[in-house]
Structure formats: C-alpha cells, structure tokens
Structure 1
Amino acid sequence: MRSVVWSNGCLTLLNQTVLPVKIEYLECYDWQRVAEAIRRLEVRGAPAIGAAAAFALVLGARKLAGLSITEFKYKLAETAEILRQTRPTAVNLFWAIDRMLSVISQLPENADTGAIIALLEQEAIAISDEDKAVNEKMASHGASLFTKPTSVLTHCNAGALATVAIGTALGVIRKAWAQGNIKGVIADETRPLLQGARLTAWELMQDGIPVTLITDNMAGWVMKNNMVQAVIVGADRIALNGDVANKIGTYSVAVLAKEHGIPFYVAAPISTFDFTINSGADIPIEERCATEVTSLGGNCIAPEGVQVFNPAFDVTPHTLISAIVTEYGILRAPYQEAIDQLYKIRK
C-alpha cells in the first residue's frame, strides 16, 4: 500500500491520521493541500515527506506557467519556503526541496517555463523512484545484522508508510523476516500520536510478521525479561558526529538498550544526514500543539488549562548507537570518520 503516488498531475496521499480504522486517500491538485497534509501528519516519515514536497513544487510550478522566468523562480522560491516551514526537524524535506530548486537555479533567463515544469516533474519522479531502490539496499545491508532468529523492538513507524517503498527500519525487519532471522517484533505505541500502535502494528500484521504492541513505558521491563535482543528505529536527521533525531521516546529506548546490553540500530538513507551540523545539539526540534497530549481520540484526558510540553522528536547521542544502516552499507563508530566518508560518496 503506497503512501505517496503521482499520476496525471495529481499527488495521492494515504491519509495516515485515520489509519488503521479507515483507509482514505487524499487527492492533491495544488501545493497548498500537500503542505497542509505534511503539517497535519496526513503524510509523515522523513523520506515520504521529502517525496511529497518534491511533487508539491511540481504542482506549484504548474500554477506559475506563463510567467517570466524571473517571476517564476521568485514565486517558486516562495512556495519552497512555505513548504520548508511545515516540519522543521526532518532534513529529507529540505534535501528534496533544495534538489528540486537546483534544477532551475542555473537556467538562462529565456528558458521556457513549460520545459522547466517538465524537468521538475522528472526530478520529483526520480526522487520517488530512488527511494524505492534505497529502501531495498538498506534492507539488504541491515538484514546482515541478524544472523539468527531474533526478537526486535521498534519505536514509531519507519515502514512503507514513512517512505515510498518498504521502509527503513521496517524494511530491514521485512528482509530479515524473509530470511528467517526475525522471530517477532515488539512495537512501542509511540505517544502521543500512536504511530507505533496505529501504523507499525498495522503494517506488520498486513505482512504476517508477528507483532506485539506495548505502551512506551513497558520497554524497559520487556528488555529486562529478555523479550527482545535488538532495537532498530528510523531517523529524521543525523548530525556529522552520528547523533540521531527521531520520534520522541527514541532516546529513552536507547538508554534502556544500553543498560541491558542490547544493540541499538538506526536505519536511514543518506538524504537523512545533515552534513551542515556537527552534533545533535544543532538539530531544531519541532514542538506541536498541546491538544495532542491533552486529548485522545477527540476526548479530553487532562485538566483544562494544564501546561504542556510536546516536543515531536528527541536526539539520541551517537554513544548509544551500535550501528547506522544506510544504502551504502553499515556505519559504525567512530561515526565522525564514517560519516565523513559518506559525505565524500555523496559528493
């Protein structure tokens, strides 16, 4: 089930806010609707957000056909800036937007806007298609970490719903399951928006992979009782030193894994690495509205007027990470050196 589909000038998104109760598709014919979908988490997951933003720029460019190249570039840059502001932490969003804008940055002033729009569409399709190949490569590399039947814990959703294909962390799990090296998966519910309960559990059940759902505060006890032998999660941004931003609660899981001697793995494509920042201290952390914490399913669960702190992400220090799985292979400490090499490959 695809989360992001482009066809005949329409971007169709699987609405992840209503899963698993309802399967609903959103047909987006203008970039503003895509921006709203990203902001509302109707489409989510770093790679999926990047692909959606790329197609949003195509939709935006189509509305600008007929303008002079100067006006076209200016208006499209304005659209790009609004898209950047939808989710500040996931670096794939910025990577995809910058890649799209680079298509037109060097074009002459007499360039035809119709031809430019066609080039932008080609680039957005390339971003989407590349994500499929990247997912497969990551899955193959990551599956090599599992050489015998293993029970794993994962946090949030880093599967097909978060990407264009089979997923990052769940892609690894899917490949290792096919090879007979996954016994089952423990899925954290992932408060406050329950991506683990609503999305990861649903995805794994669709594939017939045994999954057990737990509340976030059960992870330590699960580890204490030897119910998992590894942890694998996705990422929204990775700094040069290997610090990783991921869904809130990931840091706690990493600390618990360290305490119990359990390897903690991260799976993420090169587009999730931010080569401009030195450490996790430089990663902007999105804070979301209080109602996500004070209500559940539309019902109030907290005293009216209570003060709320609702960061959407946290940062796991590189010292707690056993390995980072990428499409180029598996990175291990010292991460600064490994990521420097990755940067050279990217160049």
Structure 2
Amino acid sequence: MAARTTIYDVAAAAGVSISTVSLALNSPARVSETTRRRVLEAADALGFVPKPDAVAKARRGVGRIGVIAPFTSYPAVAVRVNGILRAVGDRPLEIVLFDQESAARSSSPLLASLPITGRLDGLVVVSLSLDEAMAGRLTGSRLPTVLVDVHHPGFDSVRTDDTAGGRLVAEHLLGRGHRRFGFLGEAQRTERYVSPSQQRLAGFRTALAEAGHPLGDGDVRLADHGVAQARAAARELLSTRDRPPAVFAADDVLAAGALRAARDLGLAVPGELAVVGFDDGDLAEALDLTTVRQPLEESGRTAMELLLRRLDQPGSVREVALGVRLIPRGTS
C-alpha cells in the first residue's frame, strides 16, 4: 500500500518550508503569487489531500458549504447570500463565507487553494472567474461546485441575462427620445472571462446600433468599482463638448457616481441627463434610480438548490438562466 502524501512531501517538491505550504493553502494572501503557484502545482502533482482535522470530525454529519464572492465590493452580492441562506432552511449545514475581490480586477488566490484544503463539502462561487487550473483542481478534488454569474463547462451554473439587460436599457432610452448615449462600466483587469459589465455593454451597444444610433468608443468610460471612481469618470464623460444626454451605468453603484457627477456639473436629472443603472437593490430605490432589476435573491436560492441536489443525487450539468426587467423611476 502506497504511503500517503504528506505536507512534508509537498514542501520538499515545492522547495519551501511546511509553514509556507500551510500558509499557501490556508492563508494564500500571505504568500507571493509565485510561491503559491509552486505549492499548488506540487500539491496537484502529488495528489495531496490533507487529513481531516479535528473540527471536521466533530461536525458529526453537519455539512460545510463554502460561499466565495466579492461581498465587500458589491452590495448586490449580499442579497444573493440571503437567497442562499433561505434555500438552506433548517438543513444541518454550516455556511462559511469567503470574501474576495472581483475577478474584474484580479484572480482569487483563496479560490485556487480551497479545493485542496479538504474543509468543504460543497462550494458556491459568485462572480469570480475560473481559469483552467482552478477548474481542474475543483474537478479533481470532486468538490461539488455551483457558479453564479460565471459559466464554465462541466459546472452547474446560474446566470442573469446581462446582455438582455443592456438591450432593455437601450430600448428604454430610445423610447424616451434620446439619440446620443454614454456608458459607464467597470474597468476590466483580466481577459479570462467576459464580465457582467462587458455583457451589459455588448447588449446596449448592439441594440443602439440596430436602431441606427451606434455607441462610439469615445462615449464609453471605464472605472474601478466605487462611487468616487465612477464620479470622476462620469465627470470626464459629461464635460466633453458633445456630452451624451443619456448614460447607462453597469450597476447602481456606478450610477450613483454618475448622479454625483451630474450634480457637480449642474446638470438637471432627468431634464438634461438621463441615468439608468443595473441591479435594483436598496440603493436604487433610495436614489429613485431607473434601473434593470435582476433576480438577486432568486439567483442565490437557485444556486444553493442546485448544489443541494448535486450533493444528494449527482447527475448531468445543470445551467439556469434568469430573466431581467427594467424598473422606470425618476432619473430617466
């Protein structure tokens, strides 16, 4: 019988100490990307699986589900978690939340290491892309995983039709008589996947082109996610000589920045500038913001239901697409 691969074997293969291996697997942000990759590649090559720890043994049949998402970056994600918790109900499950920055900016070192730690019975990944190495690690560890807002072959997924949402915004603004447009989106820091912001822009741009009013590259501004960053980008867009009288922001936080910029420039909303967002959380209602409503809580609930079904009865890959609708309010 072959000896079990240990953390010492991984450390030797990676050329690091066992404490560095432990950090790479359990606190990946504390080691460099180069070291982390070396440790993960060594663990993959050796087929390393940690021994179940005492805490896992003490769970006594209580399953542990991980939910990894950019909680602190996007208010909409918290609403998805409400749906996840509602789907769990009174089942004997422990939900563990992992906060990560959006994949629009960087990869997720924690997502890369979670499958190897052996501490989870299932995983929900929200708005974070999977590269092939991550996908292979999840598949190899046989960790049941459901993706939300991201698609990858071989994984159950729940997505919102962001492209259709962009089309809805274009149709709404065209119906209000606008003929020039601007777009405020989130800056992309990786090309590994097409982000929701990019999909919303694609739907918006296609619908405008079909109507004979193409969106020029000069009318698109991308910013890091946040009100202050969006405010600066929107001010730049709205300070041009041929400023667009209607702006679609890729989410409600970015739309809030556009509204602040309009106030800075003394532009009346909606008289001189129409603004439309995307998500329809509490922020949109507070701002009286016209926006696209996506079924945030339903997406979380559906993802957890898919995961529970896979845990109980594995089967073919399931993909669920949820619709969107435009909610007209006072900013357009």
TM-score range (shorter-chain normalised) is 0.3 to 0.5
Q: TM-score if structure 2 supplies the norm length? A: 0.43
Q: TM-score if structure 1 supplies the norm length? A: 0.41
Higher relative contact order (CA 8 A, sep 6+): 2
